[in-house]
Amino acid sequence: MLVPSEAPERSIQTWLKYGPVTVAYSVMSTQAGRIIEEAKNIRSKHGDRVTLIAGGPHASARPWELLEAGFDLVAIGEGERVFPEIMYRLGNGLDPTGVEGVVSECMEHYPKPHDLVKITLDDYPPFALGLNIVGPIEVTRGCPFACKFCCTPFLTGTVVRHRSVDSVVRWLSLAAQKRHFRRTWFLSPNALCYGGNGLTSRPEELESLLSKSASVDGIEEIFFGSFPSEVRPEFANHRILEILRQYTANKTLQIGLQSGSDRVLKIANRRHTVQQGRDAVGMALDAGFIPHVDMIFGLPGEEENDLKASLRLCDEMTGMGVRIHAHVFMPLPGSSFEQMPPGRLDEETRKYLGDLARRGLLTGSWGTQEQFGERLAAGNSDAGSD
């Protein structure tokens, strides 16, 4: 969350009384513009008394943009390892630019986040229990699928890593005992791949995760497979969905179908078919879930017939009780489609999506995503300034 600009300013003024101050931001591409303006304001007021550090997805994909905006250091890749090392070195008067994954203006070549050493999730806590910050638990990181609109493989690599069941249970137990934690969300780029190599499902591993987590004293509800996690259609089968139904509290299931055109899915390298999406929706309904289906409009290569196929599929699915989660394609930094033109809705499609939204059949921020897409495509560092 981006805090109001006056809040960091008050903190900076307070702590500058005791010495130099470091301000660190985790930057998403849709927030980059606002954060850059805030950083420039801090620099103009406080000069070198403040050290500015940027990390996060946008920093990993476009470090030069943040360095040019006045940040002193940019942390690329996974922050659990690199950020504490930066702070240790700054706090002890050491040079942090030698840390793997740190870039500064004096560097000519920047590392790619997927080339850096990857962390083991069990080696790090999933949340800051000591600060009473208890949130969702990331159980899987990385993705072996190279969907061209997605920056996940660029940022976290294609080798899937899971937090172990023992680690999840240990942290849930601590959160329940110390912070009266009663419900948990598990985060994964593909919820049904838990325990395996990311290419196939491992029902027994998933059931172990869910059943042992549900047995933790004090934990009353588990949410998994609902937003912001997602289910790839080809991973769905009756057995694994029944496991989810047995142990999870979510009534919805987020299914990433993305297009009603097999041709567009192939261009985007989704590696599943429209029919597999239909099958997943049917099985989810049979298991008692309300499917929420992700659809992306304006993907590269999409033509009029492809768009019509997607709209027909939306009609078909909403008639079955499905809800649509609509997106407009954005050329995300770090994705294979980064240099492609952003998606643009024609007026007829915009009206159609608006009608579904008014009827309670569709959610999404397609208008905002159109604006972000235009800014990202232009390389505009003011992305997200509205």
pLDDT digits (tens, 9 = 90+) for 291-313: 999 999 999 999 999 999 999 99
Q: What is the chain's mean pLDDT, rounded?
A: 92
Closest CA to 70 of 88, 98, 96, 46: 46
Place of tokens 């325990």: 195
- Using the predicted structure, report yes or no on whether residue 43 has a pLDDT greater than 80: yes
pLDDT at 107: 66
pLDDT at 109: 75
Residue boundaries of the structural domains of the chain: 6-113, 118-377
pLDDT digit string (tens) for 340-352? 999 999 999 999 9
pLDDT band, very low/low/confident/very high, at 378 (cuts 50, 70, 90):
confident
pLDDT at 207: 98
Measured N-to-C along each axis, helices 304-318 and 347-358 cross at an angle, to the nearest 10 degrees, of 10
CA gap 75, 100 in Å, rounded: 9
- Alpha helical stretches, state H, 304-382: 304-318, 347-358, 366-377
Architecture of domain 6-113: 3-Layer(aba) Sandwich (3.40)
CA gap 277, 233 in Å, rounded: 5
pLDDT digit string (tens) for 143-202? 999 999 999 989 999 999 999 999 999 999 999 999 999 999 999 999 999 999 999 999
- Using the predicted structure, report yes or no on whether residue 327 has a pLDDT greater than 80: yes
Q: Are 5 and 32 in contact (CB under 8 A)?
A: no
pLDDT at 5: 47
Average pLDDT in the 213-218 region? 96
Place of tokens 């996690």: 229
- Using the predicted structure, report yes or no on whether residue 2 has a pLDDT greater than 50: no
Fold agreement between 6-113 and 118-377: no
- Using the predicted structure, report yes or no on whether residue 72 has a pLDDT greater than 80: yes
pLDDT at 254: 97
- Using the predicted structure, report yes or no on whether residue 314 has a pLDDT greater than 60: yes
pLDDT at 88: 94
Average pLDDT in the 37-42 region? 92
pLDDT band, very low/low/confident/very high, at 140 (cuts 50, 70, 90):
very high
Q: Are 166 and 68 in contact (CB under 8 A)?
A: no
Task: Kindly provide the residue ranges of all beta strands, DSSP E only, lying in 41-113, ordered along the sequence.
Answer: 50-55, 73-75, 102-103
CA gap 164, 189 in Å, rounded: 16
pLDDT band, very low/low/confident/very high, at 13 (cuts 50, 70, 90):
confident
Closest CA to 233 of 196, 265, 195: 265
Q: Are 175 and 224 in contact (CB under 8 A)?
A: no
pLDDT at 383: 38
CATH of 118-377 among 3.30.390.50, 3.40.50.300, 1.10.3720.10, 3.80.30.20 = 3.80.30.20
- Using the predicted structure, report yes or no on whether residue 240 has a pLDDT greater than 50: yes
- Using the predicted structure, report yes or no on whether residue 117 has a pLDDT greater than 90: no
Read off the pTM: 0.90
